[in-house]
Amino acid sequence: MFDFDDLSQAIARQTVLCVGDLMLDEFVYGEVSRISPEAPAPVIAVQRSEINIGGAGNVARNIAALGARCIFVGLVGDDAAAAQLEAELAREPGIETVLVRDASRPTTRKVRFVSEHFSAHMLRADWERAAPASGEIEQRLIDAIVPRLARADIVLLSDYAKGVLTARVLRNVIDAARRAGKRVIVDPKSANLAIYRGASVLTPNRKEFSEATRSRAETEQEIAAAAQDAIYLADCEAILVTQSERGMTLVPRQGDAIHVPAYPVKVRDVSGAGDTVVAVLAATLAAGAGWEEALRMASAAAAVAVSKQGTASVTSAELRRKILPHAYRAAEEKIIAGDGEILARVEGWRSEGLRVGFTNGCFDILHPGHVKVLTAARAACDRLVVGLNSDASVKRLKGESRPVQDERARAEVLAALEAVDLVAIFTEDTPLRLIELVRPSVLVKGGDYTREQVVGHEVVEAGGGEVILIDILKGHSTTALVDRARSDGR
């Protein structure tokens, strides 16, 4: 596994020059309440609406969300939608925006009507002029893009076929980037891949690739075979074919094809998922990642994007949670110190109707007896909070020679266990204050205690909860382990 944190830090040092078709995405959410007798057609009872930066603007948002810097060049009309987009982009940290205005065309605007309950798109209305920019506008675009190449680490061209990336603009930008030694990633729309000649990587979806290569492109082998001619035609390093739930396949000019499967995920909305893929691909390649690392990052980002509603961007933190193994990120997600954070997490679980359990201890050297109690405690609830004595608390209870491991080490070991959902370190001699904060439905301790001896039993039972005692596993004791280790050491 590659080091995500090192790659993420490298991404934050990159600047991506993004050029493409900007559009205003509006989402109107509601419920289908009845069928209109006039059409007949569904009638949507509108509940809420959202406005997003769409098209290549969403690519720019995704680049910035990863922590990289983005120089964005786009084309708009001279209308209210343009003013709205300009204001929205100005609020996006990490994006330097250069907008070329063309009064002869409307700003591209798409309004989607979506069933809130089913996340199904019912209708989309478009305002656009899908025609190439005029010669004058082409030159203004070229003049805005080429001088900014020197500040970029990589170039990303997002083609939605709305008029920005004309053959002339493409030729000027790609040729200038190659002279400057800058790689160019293209998300193509034209079936004539030759117009992107000289780009480093093309990223068509399977349908676009099939049309461009006149191939079935049903299997990895068919994609790899058809891509060779396309690579020669476009004079590029590689072609990446995205295939939605089938994953993505990259075919390099030299070497074997690389296929990365899609993450299993509940799809809420695919709008803008392709934008996320190309943004992550460009940023990771700029940061020095290899093909496979870049693909795995892009695949994980796509899974995050489609699980959201609307035209979504994906942050570095969201990507980290998706791509890293659970045990690797357990400590930072499960170990919580502040009362406010603990309460927020517990209240969130409770609002979902989940049963919250609690147990506590020093857990100085984790042994099978501890594991039995923890797993039994988790079986009695939906989410388990473990109260952990701080170092000072352990010292007061066990003597100056304890703990053997400091509180952070003990917390990280607990957090790595699947049975544990949250670790809360407390400084007092008992966990009573923590129990009063959490108000668990289940309080669990080992069977070497009686119910009356369990700290907090009155609080839990007064709230309608229960105390559960788990039979201890004989022959396992932290004190005995410590004593044995010290005697062996002598």
Binding site: residue ranges?
Answer: 205-208
DSSP for 349-365 reads HHHTTPPEEEEEE--SS
CA dihedral (315, 317, 318, 323) positive or negative: positive
Running DSSP on this structure, what letter comes out for residue 471?
P
Cα separation of the two ends of the chain = 41
Is it true that the peptide bond before 368 is cis, omega within 30 degrees of 0?
A: no
Query: Residue 479: how many CB atoms within 10 A of its CB?
Result: 12
Report phi then psi at 191, rounded to 5: -75, -15
Alpha-carbon span 350 to 429, nearest angstrom: 27
Whether the CB-CB separation of 157 and 142 falls below 8 Å is answered with: no
Note every long-range contact of 345-354, with CB atoms under 8 Å and residues 24 or more positions apart, other chains counting.
Answer: 345/422, 346/383, 346/385, 346/422, 346/438, 346/439, 349/382, 349/383, 354/381, 354/382, 354/383
Beta strands in 159-263 (DSSP E): 183-187, 201-202, 238-242, 248-252, 258-260
Name every residue whose Cβ is closer than 8 Å to that of residue 305 and which is 6 or more positions away in sequence. 272, 273, 276, 312, 313, 314
Does residue 275 carry a catalytic annotation? yes
- Nearest-angstrom CA–CA distance, 120 and 110: 16
Q: Report the binding-site residues for ATP.
A: 205-208
d(CA 214, CA 53): 33
- Which H/E stretch holds residue 213? helix 206-213
Q: Out of 187, 275, 364, 421, which one is annotated catalytic?
A: 275
For residue 303, give both structure tokens: 């899974």
Percent helix, strand, coil in the chain (nearest 5)?
40, 25, 35
Helix (H, G, I), strand (E, B) or coil at 144: helix
| CB contact at 8 A, 57 and 74 | yes
Residue 327, both tokens: 């045990």
452-458, long-range: CB < 8 A, 24+ apart:
455/360, 455/430, 455/431, 456/358, 456/430, 456/431, 456/432
| CA-angle at 201, arms to 7 and 5, nearest 5° | 5
Q: What is the C-alpha to C-alpha distance for residues 179 and 54, in angstroms, rounded to an integer?
A: 31
Residue for token pair 């461009």: 212
User: Over the range 366-387, which residues count as b (16 or more CB within 10 Å of their CB) and which as e?
Assistant: bbebbebbbebbbebbbbbbbb
Catalytic residue annotation: 275
